[in-house]
Structure 1
């Protein structure tokens, strides 16, 4: 018979059960603890990973407080007017207050309507962008953005445009920090100044000019709405290729503005009905001004400050520099026109030189290739055109404006130079050619094959006022004014004779114009020099006559007597070139540039003072501080409002004495005779004090003229880029001097007729022009172009003395001596004072 369980047995069972329950609880507690620890560890790992991947190397948003966007370098001319800009990114920086409220509303409607409510991140929009990204993985399609304006600022300015979820997270973190650092207006200002909007325009002000050729405050509502669609992708809404798509998106922005209460229904209806009104892509308005000049300025700035931001804060293409130059628009236009006319005159009748360039055209899309070529013309009524196809006896043409025209067979009959046949048959589709309007159609024009350069300088300051380095810089970028090394021919002679004047000769020194040979050693043998045109020597004559008539034999004889080491030393210190002491260099055999030669003549005109020529007056950073030249000082009281009525202030002189002042004046005085009765006599009817010298080198391959007045000195050469004969009739006096004359007629028209002022110590003496002997009892006849008696400039104690009676008859003159009453005879010093000289 079973017995009932005892109380002790029940207790044991309960204890066992409790122990089991406790053990299970402890197990579960341990598991939960481990799970919690694991989750905590995973959280730490996740946070560390988030920090490592997203936060660790985030840039500091504090840099945005002092952020300066890349800005173009702006170049201004001598009158302060803008003439050019250098930029990789076209941008005009504005403050928030300068942006029209309507424009701000348009961008908010298009990009971030809740901008003023969120703290940098629009979480619903961000979540939608992430979901869209995940759904498109592997599809090759790009997910929608979903970024706020603040996130776009973070992307554009701090972290870049990488396409990944990580970048989105970094954007969000930075956007939150930016909102803590900057105000909403500051964020919008950064955004509107920085955003890329196509056509190389960055920021809305630059885009306003790129798409509508207007300032921002001149845009209407429809145009503002178009700008607001561009951040989504400027190429997607190109007004030419995707016009309908652009119209749809613009009207969508207008609809969003209406929905948000930014505009009224009437404003919406008016804007919605407007066409896009976008102008064709075009070169900025100042880009074609002073092409060769501003390119030389760019080279100098690049050498000083570098090209991009990595080269320093003052880089040419991003530093926002303000550059004041000596560029004179009026003189540049005159020099450019004169040189071009001269080149066309010389080249006319020699045939067509072929197309400017050939480009490929696909599917009748000729406009873009033409615009991309950057070829344009502004010579008279010539224009650049692209040949788009042939229609019977006419070629079809297209122009940069989008307009079209025709070139009939009869208007393209000039011969093809060097190949035969006529131009009409040689033209091909895709050729870019020069044409001019004629009778409702167009006629072919030939770009000259010959080229050259023209430079104008102000002697008193050494500032280059104009520079034309070829026919057109958009056709020929090579700047012949500073880069073409050419033989200057006889234009070197005034510098050679300056060395002679520095070493004992006078303008009246007698030099034999006769055979001159030198032995050059066993290898080179005997070298005999000759005059231009192989003309025979004319016997003994004065130095003045030798320069006026450009006699080679007299020049080499004077150089040999002076010593070629001294001659080349003078040439070097005048900045022309560094030559070996060979006699051929005295006749212009050494290479130099027209820019250097014009500067050397400017030194002569400035009584021997000068230095390297300058194109840049000063450079300021974007805040207005002058950063170049380093020792620049403002001209105190030079501005009219600051003038105190005392003697007129003068700018700081930056020139040094390169050549003896009296030597320089003597040479200028002699070369005035070149204009009055020498090889540059074509300039005499300008009827003003003017000096100069022509040049024609062997071949001739180049012809020159350099000279001018106390106000401006100019110079030019003409020659083929690959030197070849210009023809036996080509001379400096017949080709180069007339080009300078065309320039001078207008350039000097409103200027006073100032004489060249003699330095202290110069003695003006009446001499016989043929013999160089002193003359008494008669006066120079200023109305006679070839007077027998002239005023000549001498250094102290170097003037010729009265000859004794037994030395021979008195010198003959071409004008009869006229005795003046002794009591009233004017003194030489009185005459000089009236002429502006110093006795």
Structure 2
């Protein structure tokens, strides 16, 4: 009887268990069928390549810039250290290599807990395996719902069937969000510790493994106690799993949690990297540089780039100071000036203007005859003496200047918010952000490699890259190419051209009489003198002699302009071009006559280290070395005796040409040595006058000088090796040869459209 009762009990228990199992299986099948349909495809994960950060390097392998939609560095699984793998397994999924995608017990526990607490609006408790997290991150997203969790589990099991464990782990470690805008363990190691993965210590690896649970919270630098506690918890888990010894754990826990600042870019080169981005975008595609994991070695020379930035800033500030003080950029209300806390708070809220890097914004607290007392947002006090404001004559309308300041109140008043730079411990200098812009391009003339490029005063202030984007009239910088056509036509540097008043018929509109900048005339002069002194009338006569078609062809061949109008105005520099194009054209003169294509890139490698782009140079010969030598000798004369004679005291020889345009809107200087060609431009973003007599010789040439002098300070001085038999012509022979001296050109405007536009360029100038 007892045996029968016991047997019935066993049968009931077995039946109940069987029923439960059947119910569970039925529910499982129902759930699997219900939610297992129309799931995202996952076969692409077999060959998945995540978006990766591209990195730009200087020519000497210094990190220059990073581009990314997601800041990630992909690391193959076999290159990830075991320490990192163990730390993440301890923190996230200790049984990763033993389950089939889900942890049954853990998932059931999470299901019951979340159901009973009715907390679907909160993040579900743990139990997600690494495989489930891969399914979530790649396939189903972060929606906080029961349905998403079920789909995640189903996909995890399918992933385990399709992909090897190591591939799943690799996807996880490279895809997981790690805070601070980083994805994947390699990028996180760089950002938080400035280390490669194989350089991480136990405590650092444990911290990274702690991040996926709360990446934003755990990376707050103002309170690291929570992050340290979570890190130590991971270390304890590693002990429990026999991944590290007790001594190693204690040593790791004793380490403070400190973040090392990610290494800074070696040089400020935002305009240069903008040029690289454009270059790669044209050759490979914009998406590639943002997501392709490219490694790019640029052509940038760090020393030259740093000097280019300094020279442009120095030159633009010098020009700006000549044109006066425009006043404080802000002013605090008088009511706050009597209370230190109030003016401090008000000053903190006053936004420091873009372009003021390296300067401090301060408020004027008190003014007497010889100095102003200034206050900083941190409460510090300093002094601004009148001697450091001597340049600050008030800027009046029409580029006019007021009187130089004789007392401090002529410059600032109480409450003015101004910019200053430090002179010594408590003495400061008045500063002002220039409203003029400029560009400098330095290029290797033999290869076309751009060694330095600056496209404005400050990239933060204005992203418009004047070196690449600004189409501006070139002024007299174009004249050398008119003279080159003359040399190609059989003329010589000593050929005489009449520098005298000239009349050009405009048909029914009468006559046009172009003038020289100096308004005087030299009579019969050699072509050499005409170029050295930048004589407009001589250039017009020369252009009439050789013909506009040859000049237009020359401009196209040299890459200055693709579609130059057939107008005589063009020979005086009325045509538009960019700093980069004009600098590249002068490179032909510097290298002996062959054309090079400017490039900012040496090579590009994909994420696997394969070189996918390397610029090639065809280097077609545009002009004979004999003619280039003659023209270079003439351009050396420009820097020794002509419009750029301020360069004669450099201590070495350069060739070059100044350029200015109508109404002094643009100032240029393009110069070169045998191994370096440099183009400088200065002008306002929206063309307007730089001021009376602000020519290329006065505005752009000093920037060129500051740059080139610094470049060759520590380098071997350049030397031109020109064959004197080529560049020296017997003057007695030449005087009896060709003379261009027609006094009146009588072609009508209807007969020759090269006369179009002359009436509008009455003052194309040079200086």
- Give the TM-score taking structure 2 as reference length: 0.79
Deviations 1:516-545 (CA, angstroms, capped at 9, x unpaired): 2323344x6532211113x21111101111
Question: Which of 663-672 and 704-713 deviates more?
Answer: 663-672
286, 290, 301: which one aligns with 1:328: 301
Q: Please list, as runs of the form range in 1=range in 2, the aligned pairs for 1:757-776 lying within 5 A after superposition.
A: 764=726, 766-767=728-729, 772-774=731-733
296, 312, 321: which one aligns with 2:275: 296
Question: Which of 497-506 and 597-606 deviates more?
Answer: 497-506
CA separation in 1, counterparts of 2:394 and 2:32? 72
Q: Give the unaligned 5+ runs of structure 2.
A: 1-18, 333-343, 367-371, 397-409, 739-767
CA separation in 2, counterparts of 1:692 and 1:57? 69
State the Cα distance separating 1:801 from its structure 2 match.
Answer: 7.1
CA separation in 2, counterparts of 1:661 and 1:616? 28
607, 611, 618: which one aligns with 1:622: 607
Question: Which of 680-689 and 690-699 deviates more?
Answer: 680-689
Aligned to 1:461: 447
Q: Please list, as runs of the form range in 1=range in 2, the aligned pairs for 1:241-256 lying within 5 A after superposition.
A: 242-256=223-237
Q: Please list, as runs of the form range in 1=range in 2, the aligned pairs for 1:10-159 lying within 5 A after superposition.
A: 50-51=32-33, 53-61=35-43, 63-135=44-116, 137=118, 140-159=121-140
561, 578, 589: which one aligns with 1:604: 589
Aligned to 1:731: 695
Deviations 1:674-733 (CA, angstroms, capped at 9, x unpaired): 122222222233444431111122332222111111111111012222333333342322
Contact in 2 for aligned 1:389/1:395 (Cα 8 Å): yes
Contact in 2 for aligned 1:73/1:318 (Cα 8 Å): yes
State the Cα distance separating 1:423 from its structure 2 match.
Answer: 7.5
CA separation in 2, counterparts of 1:388 and 1:201? 39
- Alignment partner of 1:410: what SS? strand
Cα RMSD, aligned residues only: 4.0
Aligned to 2:151: 170
Q: Please list, as runs of the form range in 1=range in 2, the aligned pairs for 1:517-536 lying within 5 A after superposition.
A: 517-522=503-508, 525-533=510-518, 535-536=519-520
CA separation in 1, counterparts of 2:605 and 2:137? 28
Q: Please list, as runs of the form range in 1=range in 2, the aligned pairs for 1:118-517 lying within 5 A after superposition.
A: 118-135=99-116, 137=118, 140-240=121-221, 242-279=223-260, 285-286=264-265, 289-308=268-287, 315-348=288-321, 350-351=324-325, 383=358, 394-397=374-377, 406=380, 408=382, 410=384, 422=412, 425-427=415-417, 435-436=421-422, 438-439=424-425, 445-517=431-503
Deviations 1:255-299 (CA, angstroms, capped at 9, x unpaired): 33344444444444444444421246x6x5238542211111101
- Over 3 Å counting, the alpha-carbon distance change for 1:287 and 1:70 in structure 2 is farther
649, 659, 678: which one aligns with 1:685: 649
Contact in 1 for aligned 2:279/2:599 (Cα 8 Å): no
- Alignment partner of 1:724: what SS? coil
- Over 3 Å counting, the alpha-carbon distance change for 1:277 and 1:352 in structure 2 is farther
Contact in 2 for aligned 1:136/1:142 (Cα 8 Å): no
- Over 3 Å counting, the alpha-carbon distance change for 1:367 and 1:615 in structure 2 is farther
- Over 3 Å counting, the alpha-carbon distance change for 1:618 and 1:197 in structure 2 is same
CA separation in 1, counterparts of 2:25 and 2:256? 57
Question: Which of 701-710 and 44-53 deviates more?
Answer: 44-53
- Alignment partner of 1:764: what SS? helix
Contact in 2 for aligned 1:55/1:170 (Cα 8 Å): no
Contact in 2 for aligned 1:383/1:435 (Cα 8 Å): yes
Aligned to 1:751: 716
CA separation in 1, counterparts of 2:467 and 2:330? 22
State the Cα distance separating 1:376 from its structure 2 match.
Answer: 8.0
Deviations 1:593-628 (CA, angstroms, capped at 9, x unpaired): 111111111112233311432222332322333333
Contact in 2 for aligned 1:323/1:618 (Cα 8 Å): yes
734, 741, 752: which one aligns with 2:705: 741
Aligned to 1:707: 671
Aligned to 1:672: 636
- Alignment partner of 2:468: what SS? coil
State the Cα distance separating 1:655 from its structure 2 match.
Answer: 1.4
Deviations 1:9-44 (CA, angstroms, capped at 9, x unpaired): xxxxxxxxxxxxxxxxxxxxxxxxxxx9xx99x999
CA separation in 2, counterparts of 1:130 and 1:373? 53
- Alignment partner of 2:59: what SS? coil
Contact in 2 for aligned 1:407/1:441 (Cα 8 Å): no
Contact in 2 for aligned 1:325/1:617 (Cα 8 Å): yes
Aligned to 1:545: 529
- RCO higher in 1 or 2 (8 Å CA, sep ≥ 6)? 2
Contact in 2 for aligned 1:416/1:423 (Cα 8 Å): no
Aligned to 1:589: 574
- Alignment partner of 2:65: what SS? strand
- Over 3 Å counting, the alpha-carbon distance change for 1:143 and 1:272 in structure 2 is same
Q: Which has the larger radius of gyration?
A: 1
CA separation in 2, counterparts of 1:145 and 1:560? 86
CA separation in 2, counterparts of 1:228 and 1:142? 19
State the Cα distance separating 1:119 from its structure 2 match.
Answer: 2.2
Contact in 1 for aligned 2:674/2:720 (Cα 8 Å): yes
Question: Which of 194-203 and 656-665 deviates more?
Answer: 656-665
State the Cα distance separating 1:482 from its structure 2 match.
Answer: 0.8
Q: Please list, as runs of the form range in 1=range in 2, the aligned pairs for 1:549-568 lying within 5 A after superposition.
A: 549-568=533-552
State the Cα distance separating 1:352 from its structure 2 match.
Answer: 6.0
State the Cα distance separating 1:456 from its structure 2 match.
Answer: 0.9
Question: Which of 736-745 and 543-552 deviates more?
Answer: 736-745
CA separation in 2, counterparts of 1:340 and 1:71? 35
Contact in 1 for aligned 2:444/2:675 (Cα 8 Å): yes
- Alignment partner of 1:452: what SS? strand
- Give the TM-score taking structure 1 as reference length: 0.73
CA separation in 1, counterparts of 2:110 and 2:157? 18
State the Cα distance separating 1:439 from its structure 2 match.
Answer: 0.4
- Alignment partner of 1:699: what SS? helix
Deviations 1:777-821 (CA, angstroms, capped at 9, x unpaired): xxxxxxxxxxxxxxxxxxxxxx77799xxxxxxxxxxxxxxxxxx
Question: Which of 605-614 and 537-546 deviates more?
Answer: 605-614
- Over 3 Å counting, the alpha-carbon distance change for 1:416 and 1:74 in structure 2 is farther
Contact in 2 for aligned 1:376/1:383 (Cα 8 Å): no
State the Cα distance separating 1:752 from its structure 2 match.
Answer: 5.8
Q: How many residues align?
A: 684
Q: Give the unaligned 5+ runs of structure 1.
A: 1-35, 309-314, 359-363, 398-403, 633-651, 775-798, 804-839
CA separation in 1, counterparts of 2:353 and 2:36? 45
Contact in 2 for aligned 1:193/1:203 (Cα 8 Å): yes
CA separation in 2, counterparts of 1:322 and 1:521? 61
- Over 3 Å counting, the alpha-carbon distance change for 1:628 and 1:235 in structure 2 is same
1:576 corresponds to 2:550: no
